Amino acid sequence: MSLSYVGTRLLTQASPASIAGDCVVSLKKLRAVSALQPLLDAVAWGDDFVLKAAGEALLRIASPQTADAMLPILLSRLNGSDAPNATMAEDLQVRVRAAAADLLGMIKHPAAVASLTRALGETWTVFKSAAHALCEIGTAEAITSVVPELLNRLQRKGDEYDRLTAVELLGRIGEHSFVPALKEMLSDPSPLVSSRAVTALRLIGTAEAMRAIEGIEGSGTPLADH
């Protein structure tokens, strides 16, 4: 399959998503710098699957200009200000925004911090991707931006997945100041959350964190496998 043929099919926005996806896979295998523009176009208009596959293909090509070229497109898609988003169903818009956040986390560009921080207030799907991306970027600004929302999500008693994501990322960041909040999660009604809190405390590893784990294990309180 030639590059010109694949690029032409990919640029035909009316093509079914399955065809566009196959074209992206083919371009990914080629790893040709000449494939940059068709893939950038796919990032700009594709659905969540095409967007993610095209972005990963671009990163695999690893041209020096790849990240800089992708950044404004991904920020537009994350913010929902791009033209394709306006024509998509709401659930697809959410998946597209999450896919854009995932790719911004792979690029790890500090210029994405502000947009990712704004996305933290969204539904769990977007929040999770934005929070993970900020942790991947890992600058002081990124971590300072994500921590308050993670601590806030710990208090959402009706949202197990919010709490699960927050516990996981707080453990990954590993600040000793998170220990009191994570200790409270050891008694969370969700066994999955309480078990993940044990893992988070072990990652932090301070004396206070380890005492909390020993206390819950010594009490005989059942926890899910961790």
Tokens matching residue 61 = 């090509």
Tokens matching residue 101 = 């956040």
pLDDT score at 60: 81
For the beta carbon of residue 163, count every other beta carbon within 10 angstroms. Answer: 25
- Percent of the chain beyond pLDDT 90? 59
125-176 pLDDT tens trace: 999 999 999 999 999 999 999 999 999 999 887 789 999 999 999 999 999 9
Helix (H, G, I), strand (E, B) or coil at 6: helix
pLDDT score at 37: 83
Q: What is the pTM assigned to this prediction?
A: 0.82
Helix (H, G, I), strand (E, B) or coil at 67: helix
27-85 pLDDT tens trace: 555 555 566 888 898 899 888 988 998 898 888 876 667 888 999 999 999 998 766 66
pLDDT score at 80: 85
Contact 44, 71 (CB under 8 A): no
Helix (H, G, I), strand (E, B) or coil at 162: helix
Q: Does the CA dihedral 91-94-98-99 come out positive or negative? A: positive
Give me the half-sphere count of Cα atoms (radius 13 Å) on the Cβ side of residue 119.
34
Pick the more confident residue, 77 or 23. 77
The full set of domains in the chain, from first to last, is 1-61 (1.25.10), 64-139 (1.25.10.10), 154-226 (no CATH)
- Please state, in angstroms and rounded to a whole number, the distance separating the CA atoms of residues 185 and 118: 26
Question: H-type helices in the chain, by residue range?
Answer: 3-11, 17-30, 36-45, 48-61, 66-79, 83-86, 90-107, 113-119, 124-137, 140-153, 160-173, 179-184, 191-204, 207-218
Give me the half-sphere count of Cα atoms (radius 13 Å) on the Cβ side of residue 42.
35
- Please state, in angstroms and rounded to a whole number, the distance separating the CA atoms of residues 149 and 155: 10
- Please state, in angstroms and rounded to a whole number, the distance separating the CA atoms of residues 177 and 199: 16
- Please state, in angstroms and rounded to a whole number, the distance separating the CA atoms of residues 10 and 47: 12
